[in-house]
Amino acid sequence: MPIPTLDFGRTGHKSTRVVFGGAALGSVSQDTADRTLEVLLRYGVNHIDVAAGYGEAEVRIRPWLREHPGRFFLATKTDGRTAEAAREQLHRSLDRMGVDHVDLWQLHSLADPIEWDTALSPGGALEAAAEAREQGLLRWIGVTGHGVQIAAGHRRSLERFDFDSVLLPYNYPTMQLPYYAENFNALVETCGERRVAVQTIKSMALRPWLGRPHTRSTWYEPLDAQGDIDIAVWWALGRPGIFVNSLGDVDVLPKMLDAASRFERPAEDAEMKAVVERSRLEPIFV
């Protein structure tokens, strides 16, 4: 079954509740990327989220965008902090993807306080984003980040600028941290009032690798058993109004999309606790 859609904030686009996380394409061949496209089309995914720093991901989706014009809401990111650096990355991204504009451009991984102030001050990346929007190179502006401080950080970002979207972690272990949960809940409330889209990541995080061999392309070890994936994804999708971005591994991706396509009810906390116990789930952010 196709994955349901939801208004992506104030953009006017109805995005699938699972957004394709393009980090999965960073180091794969074009043939593997094209097979991944077939999976996305099968489940009706209509929103792609890549970044300038995701290896070859922007290059890999270029044929998709050419073959399926208008099919995807297109988002990318910059990790440039000054206006000059960000501007250069935007033009490089447009060139690599073969497009003349993107729907959403995001200030990527904006967590460090000094970098945050640089990016959001005059001469910073936000200035480049505003200029690019006036020039028609992008339509909407977002902000992303990782770590236990980022929910509070995004709240500060929304005080500085009226961003159109935010992106941050949301999974059961992280939400057991009182400080994070308090700020996440407050952030979601503010975003709801302002019609700011909330994208979430790391729904399927199992634990840090901690010296174990990396068998997946994600920087953390993800859940792998379909039953556990079902519950983790249903727990995340059970939060009304948010989007769940897919993990950065093309081999586990079909399991996640399958779970999302069968979503009917939120997973209970008791079900997630059972997953924690049998799979030895651990926080990936401390």
The contacts found for 190-194 with CB under 8 angstroms, 24 or more apart, are 190/155, 190/158, 191/9, 191/158, 191/166, 192/241, 194/10, 194/158, 194/162
- Residue 170 CA to residue 247 CA, distance in Å, equals 12
Q: Give the helix/strand (H/E) hosting 157.
A: helix 150-160
Q: What is the mean pLDDT of the chain?
A: 97
3-state secondary structure of 270: helix
Q: How confident is the model at residue 212 (pLDDT cuts 50, 70, 90)?
A: confident
User: How much is the pLDDT for 260?
Assistant: 98
User: How much is the pLDDT for 204?
Assistant: 96
The contacts found for 180-188 with CB under 8 angstroms, 24 or more apart, are 180/148, 180/151, 180/285, 183/151, 183/152, 183/155, 184/151, 186/151, 186/155, 187/151, 187/154, 187/155, 187/158, 188/239, 188/241, 188/242
Buried b (16+ CB within 10 A) or exposed e, 24-38: bbbebeeeebeebbe
User: How much is the pLDDT for 63?
Assistant: 98
Domains along the sequence of the chain with CATH? 5-279 (3.20.20.100)
Mean pLDDT for 20-44 is 98
Q: Is the model's pLDDT at 210 over the cut of 90?
A: no
- Residue 260 CA to residue 153 CA, distance in Å, equals 29
- Residue 250 CA to residue 279 CA, distance in Å, equals 21
Q: What is the pLDDT of residues 138-197, one digit of tens each?
A: 999 999 999 999 999 999 999 999 999 999 999 999 999 999 999 999 999 999 999 999
Q: Cα separations (Å) of 256 from 128, 252, 261, 268?
A: 35, 7, 9, 18
Q: What is the pLDDT of residues 90-101, one digit of tens each?
A: 999 999 999 999
Q: What is the pLDDT of residues 126-144, one digit of tens each?
A: 999 999 999 999 999 999 9
